[in-house]
Amino acid sequence: MLQTLSASAMSAKPTAFHHLLATLAHDGRLLRLYSQNIDGIDTAMEPLRTEVPLPKKAPWPKTIQLHGCIRKMVCLKCYRVSNFRVELFNGPIQPSCADCEDNNNFRIKAGKRSHGVGNLRPRMVLYNGQNPDDEAIGSVITSDLRARPDAIIVAGTTLRVPGARRIVKEMCRLVRDQVDGVTIWISKEAAPKGKDLENCWDLVVRGSCDEVAQYAAMRRWDQELEHSKTKHGNAKVRSVSFESVKVPKRKQRQLLLSPVSPKIPQKVTGSKRRIPRVSTGSDTHKVGKAVGKRQVQIPQSIIDIVNKALG
Ligand SMILES: [Zn+2]
């Protein structure tokens, strides 16, 4: 199973939504990405990079992996973290830690008693196990709450994991306390019910994150500038841009993205809870709806809302 998981993670390409996140981060508009993904596709992108183990104190990386990652492995004895090597996990026996073996051999040669050798395992959280980064994650959350972000997008998750659900609850509550705060749910799944998440969302989009990202049509963070050589050998810089994308002129707001990958784009004006725009569906592409009685048609309404969220 590990081999399959690892192989699919390493071969997977970032989706439109991953790129949208990376662009937001690259532009300084993303305060934090809290990811439930263990494939590391997001953190493999430079703007969304993380650190393993997660530092206990600031500065923290852009992405916080709530459940670890298949791309790293850890020794259960000496806790050394290293890149995951799938070839070590090709049998029924857990692989041994080479560092522990070296240290142990050294001790034995020196006439000291053996301290034993630890086993390696992927550094990810299985079956609600404990995350070794829990304490650090708690510190990041506290810090981010103090930063009072004014937008949160929760995307591609079911929030069945209690810890993730608690994070979302706290952050949504804080964001909605802001005058212009906006909370957005994007998922093929319905927003979870429950008293803790009651009146939690300003906007609910039932649809694919990647589809929303495509509507957003933000420029790609890694294609902003394309360098090419002229025939004279001089570096030539060519801008690759989408006309629909505007660089915000005023102070940019920061977004908090929660579980999995969210998206969103463009500019904004206006205030909070008036968000959704009513429209009749000339477009059959109805992937979004506003909370309450208001109905929103994709794409323009979503883009407007996203604009609002991003200030
Ligand atoms: Zn070890």
Q: How far is the CA of 96 from the centre of ligand 1 (A)?
A: 8
Q: pLDDT tens-digit profile of 57-72?
A: 999 999 999 999 999 9
Check whether 118 has a pLDDT greater than 60: yes
* d(CA 116, ligand 1 centre) in Å: 9
Q: Output the pLDDT for position 5.
A: 80
d(CA 99, ligand 1 centre) in Å: 5
Spatial distance between the Cα atoms of 88 and 40, rounded to a whole number of angstroms: 19
How much is the pLDDT for 255? 62
The more confident residue out of 60 and 236 is 60
For residue 186, pLDDT beyond 50: yes
Active site residues: 67
